[in-house]
Structure 1
Amino acid sequence: MYRFHPFLLFHLLTCLNNGQNALGSEIINGRNAPKNSMQFMASVQANTQHVCGGFLVSEDFVVTAAHCGKQNLTRVVLGTHNLTNVPDDAVIKIKQRFKHPLYKKPELGYDIMLLQLSEKARLDSKIVKKIQLPKSNNKIKNMGKCNVAGWGFTKTKGEAVDVLKVVDVPIINLDECKRKWKNVRSLPDNIICAGGSGTNKGFCKGDSGGPLVCNGMAVGVVSFNKYNCDYPNWPNIYTDISKHIAWIKDILKKKEL
């Protein structure tokens, strides 16, 4: 979570990290995540600098946003909520990156990437654990309480935080979401809209790639939003994981062979 400036048409947000650009997010009007919660969260880093969020889906794979690949990603940090206190055994190097083959830029969809780790994470229900993924083309309508988490700024042009923040966000009907965005741009179908419009809660800069979690399941990946994060007029946009389950399983299966 660093200094930011817009780089996409229509002022889609970017994150400036070590001179490189990446779309990002922060948690707005959230709270500190309780200790020993959200053990699936990952800090995706370039050297020792946090770049994006991510989440563990198998012992040796983390999911994040494809646009985070603009950075020189080198490692992930697992099992810690405070990035100022990272033990050596929480750090695992990134072995390989797998961007979705149809990804071009966030506003066109397919903003999802798998990071293969150089070694398997040591799973511990109190420290590090995987998160469940949805079934293919999962229906999002009745997902109940959802939240998003990250280590980014807590307001537009604010300051980054070191302790993981989490905030509850409502799911927004896709047709309604597209209507609200229609004067800005057309939205793809393989997304989920949650938070932002109609609430001052959601994401902004610094935590792209983090999960939208509903009923303990990762259903979305933080992708993009508009410039004003504090009181936005547009819903926040997430990649719909259920639309990409076959691709995810194919990558995981091939790497197990």
Structure 2
Amino acid sequence: MMQGLQNILLIYVLRCLGQIVHGSDIINGKKAPENSMQYVVSVQNTDGHICGGFLVTEDFVVTAAHCDVENPTHVVLGSHNIKKGYQINIEKKFKPPSYSNIWWGNDIMLLKLSRKARLGCKVQIIQLPCAEMNVKADQVCQVAGWGRNRTGGENIDDLRVVSVSVINRYVCREQWPGLSASVICAGGYGTDKGFCQGDSGGPLVCNGLVVGLASFNKNYNCAYPDVPNIYTDISKHLKWINWILLTATSS
């Protein structure tokens, strides 16, 4: 009965808001400096780049759960140009048991790599939050990805980054009625900067700490988004992440 009511609510919300679209294309950003964000990786399948992600240990990458529909097989790291990096196969994928679709939240996935990445000047890990946290409204953060940089454009080879401001959660829920509580809103509302369609899973970084990953937006207009961009709040999933890292490493 409860599941049926949830499905009805989801249909109602989608009809009211229009089409929800996965993505993390960088709009009105700039090419990322070569000595920055070396933890960002390209998640790929046999056809090439499908999503962004970021390295949190030598052999684990975090990305978006909905990227699994594209059957990712490997990651590319070691260069901001995805044609120049090196490849590591994906050994296993982990999604929260509570994940069902992007609207209900929990859009996060851990990728266990088949071997450890070679850490160094061009490959680094990024720190996860130590505890559950609430990112302050108006805080300026950065999001990065390899997606299209304009409406109707094509994916790009070089990593791009853009600064976005965190949006007050109450303002965000006015624009996205029924939105999950385990998300962060930043960019795409009252600005022409943020992400759009393309490679989800890119990191939202505030003061050197990865706090979110790109999950979804609305419609296909990358130039003037009319609602906030939605990110999975990583701090809300720390217990699950740490459990997976511990059990998968020891097994």
Alignment-derived partner of residue 28 in structure 1:
27
**Of 192, 207, 213, which aligns to 2:205?**
213
Q: CA deviation at 1:48?
A: 5.1
Instruction: Look up the SS of the partner of 1:225 in the other structure.
Output: strand
Q: Does residue 106 in structure 1 map to residue 122 in structure 2?
A: no
Query: Which moved further from structure 2: 34-43 or 155-164?
Result: 155-164
Separation of aligned partners in 2, 1:70 and 1:203: 20
**Of 104, 129, 135, which aligns to 1:140?**
135
5+ unaligned residues in a row in structure 1: which ranges? 1-7, 14-22
Alignment-derived partner of residue 160 in structure 1:
155
Q: How many residues are paired up?
A: 234
Q: Does residue 77 in structure 1 map to residue 69 in structure 2?
A: no
Instruction: Look up the SS of the partner of 1:172 in the other structure.
Output: coil
Alignment-derived partner of residue 115 in structure 1:
111
Alignment-derived partner of residue 248 in structure 1:
241
Aligned partners of 2:138 and 2:167 also within 8 Å = no
Alignment-derived partner of residue 217 in structure 2:
225
Separation of aligned partners in 2, 1:108 and 1:96: 24
Matched to 1:141, the amino acid is K
**Of 164, 167, 191, which aligns to 1:169?**
164
Q: Deviations over 1:54-75 (max 9, x none)?
A: 0000011000000000011110
How big is the alpha-carbon RMSD for the aligned residues of Structure 1 and Structure 2?
A: 1.4
Separation of aligned partners in 2, 1:252 and 1:60: 10
Alignment-derived partner of residue 185 in structure 2:
193
Moved >2 Å (runs of 4+): 142-145
Aligned partners of 2:42 and 2:52 also within 8 Å = yes
Compute the TM-score of the two structures, normalised by the length of structure 2. 0.90
Q: Deviations over 1:63-112 (max 9, x none)?
A: 000000001111001121112323xxx21000000011111000110000
Query: How many percent identity over aligned positions?
Result: 56
5+ unaligned residues in a row in structure 2: which ranges? 1-12
Aligned partners of 1:29 and 1:201 also within 8 Å = yes
Alignment-derived partner of residue 234 in structure 1:
227
Separation of aligned partners in 1, 2:248 and 2:138: 31
Aligned partners of 2:128 and 2:210 also within 8 Å = yes
Query: Which moved further from structure 2: 143-152 or 192-201?
Result: 143-152
Matched to 2:184, the amino acid is I
Q: Does residue 46 in structure 1 map to residue 39 in structure 2?
A: no
Q: Going by fraction, where is helix more abundant, 1 or 2?
A: 2
Alignment-derived partner of residue 10 in structure 2:
none
